[in-house]
Structure 1
Amino acid sequence: MTIPANLFTGDAGNLITTFSGIGPNSYNNLFINGILQVGNVYSVNPTTLTLNPDGNTIYTGTPITLETIQFIALVS
Structure 2
Amino acid sequence: MKKLRWLVFLSLVCALLLQAASPVSKEALQARLFELQQQREQAIANVNAISGAIQECEYWLKKLKEKEEEEPEEK
Instruction: Tell me if both proteins adopt one fold, taking TM over 0.5 as the criterion.
Output: no
TM-score (ref. length: structure 1): 0.29
Relative contact order, higher structure (CA 8 A, sep 6+): 1
More helix by share: 2
Structure having the higher Rg: 2
More strand by share: 1
